[in-house]
Amino acid sequence: MTPFPDAHTHTARALPRAFDLLNVELPFAGQLNEHRCYSIGVHPWSSPAEWDAGLKQLEQWITLPQVRAVGECGLDKRRGAPLERQKELFSRQIALAVEHKKPLILHNYKTADEMLELHAKYGGTWILHGFRANALVMDMFLKRGFYFSYGSRFNEEALLKTPLDHLLLETDEGSVAELIGLYERVAVLLKTNADSLAELMEKNMGRLFSM
């Protein structure tokens, strides 16, 4: 099993690992394993019919020690409910995350202005998952204190300009082999090695998610 941390994955690997953050979309019919670390939230693509049950579950589970973040949640202009309805759902999750001092794992598609507006209103620690935008967009979010989680598809200039203490790496729905390949690619770009990069990711995830 690779030792490389995974800041956002939908895949529950065979053995729980200290530095995997497993995403669970609510509502969820199962139980959370006390030996794993989770992010939990109501995705903007979910059906409005599921929102109340998902939010109720989030309210119940957010205090569990294995729940380290809220999300993936956010906004999407291409899919899901009308944007104003999505903002209602997202705002309720932001408020819970801020109240319980948990970071947010964000889904964002062409909603930068709305994201920045809501961050100015609520504050908190926000992490853009699967970040693919260019360096100018990255810098705009960085000035507001956002963090950036990069998967297998990313803009090299944006990644290179991301401060190391604001950088995370993830597979999303990818495999262990893809995670290893991601670390190797990014290590070359940053002129380091994969093991040193893994140590940096452990440090960043430890700080952000209390791991």
Give the CATH architecture of domain 6-209: Alpha-Beta Barrel (3.20)
Number of C-beta neighbours around residue 63 at 10 A = 9
> How far is 50 from 126, CA to CA, in rounded Å?
24
pLDDT in tens, 54-72: 999 999 999 999 999 999 9
Identify whether the C-beta of residue 102 lies closer than 8 Å to the C-beta of residue 67: yes
This prediction's pTM: 0.95
pLDDT tens-digit map of 108-140? 999 999 999 999 999 999 999 999 999 999 999
**Domain map (residue ranges) of the chain:** 6-209
User: What element of type H or E holds 112?
Assistant: helix 112-122
